[in-house]
């Protein structure tokens, strides 16, 4: 039982000179696709010193428009509270998410956990989603006022009493009280607690354990609305709690906290309360039963003795009340202790469930089972779920157990749309089985009512029942399969007087995708066939038997059983093991599988295991050695009169266990040899690693963040590789090792090297046409230069030559007039564009070069 405290004595100093807003919230009701009715509820301060009042409030709709809403209701409450209600409508421009905000200049004076509360904006908001895909939506209705009282040192519990009229799920969080523009109040803190203050995100119970200091406190609760896993709206409710010092103890409510009742039944429930101080107790209630449309609920106190009280809750439920979410009845027990009255609150959960489907029957024929039932008692059912399983469970739902429990093994096979759709024909039933059915009514939000009584039936055995598809010979060309079926025993002679004929069809695969006729049988007792010249080594085969009335001028198909396939064994290679996977599609039920393995020493197959699953792992094998297997299944149908057990064999399949453990990654080292223009890679394996390596993969990227590609596959015996890059010596390398089973190791360590700097310029050249050193060029060899940007100046700073050609090839002439420059010292600035580890980078060179030639000109060139 949750106990919390409610004090009715107000301390005058709390309200003296108090100004205005204590608490509030915004809710809405959807009128049409885009039109909404919005309600603002505020609780404001009254009493001595209070002057502020708001006969109307401005509302921001969230679509860049505002309105003024009038106050339509004003209720003066005890303890200097007033409840104000403002209502208005608004039509939105279209689908979207809108935040509705209401602000007022002042909160009331003296809120302990809001700095300077009297001058702090009061702001509340609600967020709505308009989305045609989610349908109509209304905010939850909050049935408990957002003002309350608590006592120092005693646990305080409050619940907003939220009821969602659409049956949406609600979640709860504490958030920060808001100020102007909906922003969190600066300096706001949660009230101080001796232990903790929190809200249960599912039930909405706010638990303050326990208040420490008397005074006024405000908290904000975020109530979020969810539909099919999607958040579709939220309310930020601002509430106020007044904390007092008292020795009074709260009363305690006793009640069943969870109740369940079938729709359209009368719920009667007695709630009791006791008080440790022997105070008189007043019991009241609110919540969903009192605000639900067309609901007739009453709550009447029947006993009021010192220290003890009783009340009777009566609710005539209706079919329209059926939904997934339970309803909450909020009961309050309040004592009359003076000077402070305390309360306990109980949140009682009430589930209203749909009635069961009545008078379900199952009538079997040769090819189908027809179900019929009475339409549901509740006319708001939107349809019916039909469930089926092989074999009876005897299921009878216990109190409040709606739907069909998954543990029963039933499968949902159909949904009948519509309240009046009270029949179903199961055309997928197979010969040889007893099928059992349950039917439930389904209501608007997908919730199911109680399940019907279980009914069972078997198809009339008026057609053959296939029993065997067994592999006798495994071969690519000479494979053989044994097919057998049970003859019909309940032929409707009046409709099919005979004679009769079977036609057998075959297809590759499990499901009869490409059936072709392979045999005809004119004797009803001829029920065996050996199918030969098949590739049973590589293919499964499926078969179907059709049964005909073969009378002259009255030939027609009576029916055919379900398709049945051969069992096909596939083997998954593993480390020192093989995993056997058996695939099939058959109408009977296989209960066990016997695994047979070939043994060389006896030159025969012997069983090694039995399993009730169609997979088996044979462990402890030798990698690289071949092992052969086949599997025998043992099964049956679920009715008498058909061969039991049903035995079938798979084909033989062979495979080798393989090594699946990758080798260790190599340990890599890279050294750059700049003069020879290559990078040398050396690697080795750790001493503890398996030496089963067939080759190594070497990966390279020319930059730190570039893509890696394989540049070499080195043989297992090699331990080094010379890489001669094309555009740069810079780059990153890593390796992997690959073993004889093609297992690849994790990546080795990554090693990166940067480029060597090769580009250098001489300090002298002689442009005298003697064929020796006539041009200013870089020292050779140089590598991996994309381009340069060089300017050569005389001593007066005049530009003599410039180029982007890495070879430069300056012949000593002024590039403007073509004249040979004077002998002397010339200065250069050169940007060299080289590929480095981080990509194309610029290296700056500056220096001088001496020019000597036979042309002795003493003045600088212009």
Which DSSP category does 3 fall into?
A: B
State mean pLDDT over 495-499.
90
> Do 265 and 172 form a contact (C-beta atoms < 8 A)?
no
**Contact between residue 209 and residue 192 where contact means Cβ atoms under 8 Å apart:** no
- The CA distance from 563 to 279, in Å, is 78
Tens of pLDDT, residue by residue over 525-560, are 999 999 999 999 999 999 999 999 999 889 999 987
What does the radius of gyration of the chain's CA atoms come to, in whole angstroms? 44
Q: Enumerate helices (H) and strands (E) in the chain, giving the number of each.
A: 2, 59
782-796 pLDDT, tens digit per residue, is 888 889 999 999 999
Which residues pair with residue 829 across a beta bridge? 791, 846
CB-CB neighbours of 374 under 10 Å = 12
Q: Are strands 343-353 and 258-262 parallel, antiparallel or unpaired?
A: parallel
- pLDDT per position as a tens digit, 597-648: 999 999 999 999 999 999 999 999 999 999 999 999 999 999 999 999 999 9
CB atoms within 10 A of CB 199: 23
Residues 708-759 pLDDT 10s: 999 999 999 999 999 999 888 889 999 999 998 889 999 999 999 987 767 8
pLDDT of residue 761: 94
Q: Are 610 and 593 in contact (CB under 8 A)?
A: yes
| Residue 421, both tokens | 């759709």
Q: What contacts 320, CB < 8 A, 6 or more positions away?
A: 294, 380
Separation of alpha carbons 480 and 532, rounded Å:
4
What percent of the chain has a predicted confidence (pLDDT) above 90? 78
Rounded Cα–Cα distance for residues 146 and 144 (Å): 6
What would the two tokens of residue 251 be? 């009363």
Helix (H) or strand (E) holding 697: strand 695-701
The alpha carbon torsion through 276, 278, 280, 281 (nearest 10 deg) reads 20
Residues in contact with 494: Cβ distance below 8 Å, sequence separation at least 6, in sequence order: none
CA angle 518, 521, 523 (to 5 degrees): 170
Residue 576 burial (CB < 10 Å; 0-12/13-18/19+)?
middle
Q: pLDDT (tens digit, 9 = 90+) per residue, 277-326? A: 999 999 999 999 998 888 999 999 999 999 999 999 999 999 999 999 99
Q: Residue 280 and residue 284: Cα distance in Å, rounded?
A: 13
Residue 86 has pLDDT above 50, yes or no: yes
**pLDDT class of 704 with cuts at 50, 70, 90:** confident
Give me the torsion for CA of 400, 403, 406, 407, rounded to 10°.
40
Q: Which pLDDT tens digit goes with each residue over 788-820?
A: 999 999 999 999 999 999 999 999 999 999 999
Pairing of strands 626-636, 589-599: antiparallel
- State the average pLDDT over residues 405-423: 97
Closest CA to 791 of 750, 724, 749, 845: 845
Confidence of residue 276 (pLDDT cuts 50, 70, 90): very high
Q: What is the pLDDT of residue 574?
A: 92
pLDDT above 80 for 6: no
Q: Average of pLDDT values for 86-102?
A: 96
State the DSSP code for 584.
Answer: -
- Beta strands per DSSP E along 156-307: 156-158, 162-163, 169-175, 193-199, 206-211, 215-227, 230-244, 252-254, 258-262, 266-274, 281-287, 296-305
- Residue 784: CB partners within 8 Å, gap ≥ 6? 725, 727, 728, 729, 755, 758, 834, 835
User: Using a CB cutoff of 8 Å and minimum separation of 24, what contacts does 87-91 make?
Assistant: 87/37, 87/38, 87/39, 87/40, 88/37, 88/38, 88/59, 89/31, 89/35, 89/36, 89/37, 89/38, 90/35, 90/36, 90/38, 90/61, 90/65, 91/34, 91/35, 91/36
Q: What tokens were used for 701?
A: 């990227």
* Helix, strand, coil distribution of the chain in percent, nearest 5: 0, 50, 45
pLDDT over 90 at 181, yes or no? no
d(CA 426, CA 449): 22
For the record, the structure tokens of 381 come out as 């059912």
Do 464 and 368 form a contact (C-beta atoms < 8 A)? no
Position 11 pLDDT exceeds 80? no
3-state secondary structure at position 420? coil
- Are the beta carbons of 457 and 392 closer than 8 angstroms? no
Preceding omega of 499 cis (within 30 degrees of 0): yes
List the one residue out of 545, 589, 538, 541 whose CA is nearest residue 567: 541
Residue 202 Ramachandran class (φ > 0 left, ψ -120 to 50 alpha, else beta): alpha
CA gap 401, 352 in Å, rounded = 11
12's enclosing H/E stretch is helix 12-15
Q: Are 800 and 819 in contact (CB under 8 A)?
A: no
User: Sorting pLDDT into bands at 50, 70 and 90, what band is 861?
Assistant: very low
d(CA 118, CA 107) in angstroms, rounded, equals 5
Q: For 754-767, b where at least 16 C-beta lie within 10 A, e where not — what string?
A: ebbebbebeeebbb
Which of 248, 174, 219 lies closest to 7 in space, CA to CA? 248
> Which are the contacts of 124, defined by CB distance < 8 A and separation ≥ 6?
24, 25, 26, 40, 101, 102, 178, 236, 237, 238
* Range list of H helices, 277-384: 288-291
Contact between 715 and 633 under an 8 Å Cβ cutoff? The reply is no
**Residue 51, pLDDT score:** 62
CA separation, residue 107 to residues 185, 476, 679 (Å): 12, 89, 76
Percentage with pLDDT > 70 across the chain: 96
592 vs 183, higher pLDDT = 592
Compute CA distances 23 → 224, 375, 623, whole Å. 19, 50, 76
With a cut of 70, say whether residue 862 has pLDDT above it: no
* Measured CA angle at 762 (ends 757, 768), to 5 deg: 150
Quick check: 8 pLDDT over 50?
A: no
CA distance 605 to 608: 9
- What is the distance between the alpha carbons of residues 323 and 352, in angstroms, rounded to a whole number? 7
CA separation for the pair 343, 280 (Å, rounded): 12
Domains and CATH numbers, the chain: 12-244 (2.60.40.10), 259-353 (2.60.40.10), 361-458 (2.60.40.10), 469-656 (2.60.40.10), 667-753 (2.60.40.10), 764-851 (2.60.40)
pLDDT at 93: 95
Question: What would the two tokens of residue 689 be?
Answer: 């690693």
Choose among 35, 30, 34, 138: nearest CA to 95.
Answer: 34
* Per-residue H/E/C for 424-477: EEECCCCCCCEEEEEEEEECCCCCECCCCCCEEEECCCCCCEEEEEEEEECCCC
**Cβ contact 698:708 at 8 Å:** no
**Candidate from 449-453, 530-534, 677-681, 704-708 with smallest mean pLDDT:** 704-708
């Amino acid at each position: 039982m949750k106990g919390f405290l409610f004090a009715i004595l107000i301390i005058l100093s709390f309200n003296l000179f108090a100004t205005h807003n204590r608490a509030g919230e915004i809710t809405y009701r959807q009128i049409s696709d885009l039109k909404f009715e919005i309600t603002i509820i505020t609780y404001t301060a009254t009493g001595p010193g209070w002057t502020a009042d708001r006969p109307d409030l401005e509302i921001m709709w969230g679509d860049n428009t505002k309105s003024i809403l009038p106050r339509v209701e004003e209720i003066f409450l005890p303890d200097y509270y007033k409840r104000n209600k403002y209502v208005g409508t608004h039509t939105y421009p279209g689908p979207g998410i809108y935040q509705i905000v209401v602000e007022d200049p002042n909160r009331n004076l003296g809120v302990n956990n809001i700095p300077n509360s009297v001058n702090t904006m009061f702001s509340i908001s609600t967020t709505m989603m308009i989305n045609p895909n989610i349908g109509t939506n209304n905010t939850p209705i909050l049935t408990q006022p957002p003002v309350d009282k608590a006592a120092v040192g005693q646990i305080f519990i409050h619940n907003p009493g939220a009821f969602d009229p659409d049956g949406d799920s609600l979640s709860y969080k504490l958030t920060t009280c808001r100020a102007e523009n909906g922003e969190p109040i600066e300096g706001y803190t949660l009230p101080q607690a001796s232990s903790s203050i929190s809200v249960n995100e599912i039930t909405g119970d706010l638990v303050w354990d326990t208040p420490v200091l008397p005074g006024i406190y405000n908290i904000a609760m975020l109530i979020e609305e969810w539909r099919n896993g999607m958040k579709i709206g939220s309310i930020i409710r601002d509430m106020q709690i007044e904390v007092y010092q008292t020795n009074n103890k709260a009363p305690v409510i006793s009640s069943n906290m969870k109740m369940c009742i079938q729709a359209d039944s009368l719920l009667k429930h007695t709630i009791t309360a006791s008080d440790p101080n022997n105070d008189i107790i007043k019991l009241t209630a609110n919540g969903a039963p009192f605000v639900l449309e067309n609901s007739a609920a009453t709550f009447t106190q029947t006993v009021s003795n010192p220290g003890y009280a009783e009340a009777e809750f009566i609710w005539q439920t209706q079919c329209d009340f059926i939904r997934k979410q339970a309803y909450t009845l909020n009961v309050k027990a309040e004592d009359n202790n003076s000077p402070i009255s305390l309360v306990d609150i109980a949140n009682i959960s009430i589930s209203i469930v749909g009635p069961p489907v009545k008078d379900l029957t199952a009538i079997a024929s040769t090819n189908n089972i027809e179900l019929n039932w009475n339409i549901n008692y509740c006319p708001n059912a939107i349809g019916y779920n039909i469930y089926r399983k092989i074999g009876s469970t005897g299921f009878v739902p216990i109190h409040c157990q709606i739907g069909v429990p998954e543990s029963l093994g039933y499968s949902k096979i159909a949904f009948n749309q519509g309240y009046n759709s009270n029949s179903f024909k199961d055309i997928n039933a197979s010969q040889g089985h007893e099928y059992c059915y349950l039917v439930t009514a389904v209501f608007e939000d997908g919730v199911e009512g109680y399940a019907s009584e279980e009914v069972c039936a078997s198809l009339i055995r008026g057609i053959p029942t296939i029993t065997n598809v067994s592999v006798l010979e495994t071969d690519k060309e000479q494979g053989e399969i044994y097919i057998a079926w049970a003859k019909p025993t309940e032929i409707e002679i009046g409709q099919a007087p005979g004679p009769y004929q079977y036609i057998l069809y075959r297809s590759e695969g499990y499901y009869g995708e490409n059936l072709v006729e392979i045999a005809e049988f004119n004797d009803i007792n001829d029920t065996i066939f050996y199918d030969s010249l098949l590739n049973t080594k590589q293919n499964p085969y499926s078969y179907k038997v059709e049964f005909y009335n073969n009378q002259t001028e009255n030939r027609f198909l009576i029916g055919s059983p379900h398709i049945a396939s051969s069992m096909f064994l596939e083997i998954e290679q593993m480390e020192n093991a093989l995993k056997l996977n058996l695939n099939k599609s058959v109408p009977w039920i296989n209960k066990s599988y016997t695994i047979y393995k070939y043994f060389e020493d006896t030159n025969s197959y012997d069983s090694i295991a039995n399993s009730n699953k169609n997979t088996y792992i044979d462990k402890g094998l030798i990698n690289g050695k071949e092992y052969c297997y086949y599997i025998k299944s043992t099964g049956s149908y679920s009715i008498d009169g058909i061969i039991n057990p049903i035995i079938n064999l798979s084909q033989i399949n062979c495979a080798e266990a393989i090594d699946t453990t990758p080798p260790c990654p190599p340990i890599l080292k890279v050294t750059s040899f700049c003069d020879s223009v290559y990078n040398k890679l050396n690697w080795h394996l750790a001493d503890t690693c398996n030496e089963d390596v067939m080759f190594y993969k070497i990966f390279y990227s020319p930059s730190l963040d570039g893509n890696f590609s394989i540049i070499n596959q080195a043989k297992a015996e090699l331990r080094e590789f010379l890489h001669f890059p094309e555009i740069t010596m810079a780059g990153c390398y890593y390796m992997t090792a690959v073993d004889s089973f093609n297992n690849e190791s994790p990546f080795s360590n990554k090693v990166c090297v940067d480029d060597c700097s090769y580009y250098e310029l001489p300090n002298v050249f002689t442009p005298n046409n003697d064929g020796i050193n006539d041009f200013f060029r870089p020292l050779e060899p140089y590598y991996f230069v994309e381009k340069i940007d060089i300017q050569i100046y005389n001593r007066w700073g005049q530009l003599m030559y410039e180029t982007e050609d890495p070879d430069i090839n300056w012949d000593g002439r002024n590039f403007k007039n073509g004249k040979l420059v004077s002998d002397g010292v010339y200065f250069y600035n050169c940007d060299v564009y080289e590929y480095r580890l981080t990509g194309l980078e610029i290296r700056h060179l500056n220096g001088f070069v001496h020019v000597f030639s036979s042309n002795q000109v003493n003045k600088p060139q212009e």
